A and B are shown apart, each in its own frame.
Chain A
């Protein structure tokens, strides 16, 4: 079974500061990993994904994440936070592509607040 652990349910940063949202996964097979962002009362928007290609993945809005197999981590970073980055962020893992209906397992989410 696959699982995701997001460390820190709430992260607060100052505008312009580094954003670091932590995600560790558990999977018995090579996983696909995703980061999604959710704004209030909206669905989820894909930020970036890892699908066994480059370990450093660049996404939208200046976010990137690095897949580290030895640490089973997929932390999300952004060099300089913007007020518009305030939202809920979900890390998700999936295994079993190919012929299966692969399903995403989500972490519990990290609420990012950005202080002026």
Chain B
């Protein structure tokens, strides 16, 4: 149980275009989802916390107008990288939790390459 599906698993886009990444909780309702960014051989850096039906809370230094997060339902959160640039190339991972203090369940990540 507690499966989180992330789509796509990899995407290549041209500089200036926008890319949407989906994160779905398949067998549970996720009141909160988290989006992380991971650079090669580094740890995960929390980008934002997404609560269903409300605006996402962004971490310091993360541009909310560039990384648009929508959590329209209890099973789906999306991250849209707008006007992508090569420096946005990274591994993006989402996670979701069932309850306030339950462990996080992670998606398999999305490898974004901006050319």
Contact = CB atoms under 8 A, between A and B. Distances in A.
**A and B interact physically:** yes
Interface of A: 32, 34, 36, 41-46, 49, 51, 90, 97-104, 106-109, 111
Nearest 8 pairs of A and B residues by beta carbon: A43-B106, A97-B101, A44-B106, A106-B43, A43-B108, A108-B43, A42-B108, A43-B109
A6 to B, nearest CB: 9
> Which secondary structure dominates where chain A touches chain B?
loop
B106 A45 contact: yes
Interface of B: 4, 6, 9, 32, 34, 41-44, 46, 49, 51, 57, 91, 93, 95, 100-101, 103-109, 111
A22 B5 CA distance: 30
Nearest to A104: B104
Nearest to B104: A104
Contact of B34 (A49, A99, A103): A103
Given A42-B109, A43-B107, A108-B42, A103 B101 contact: no
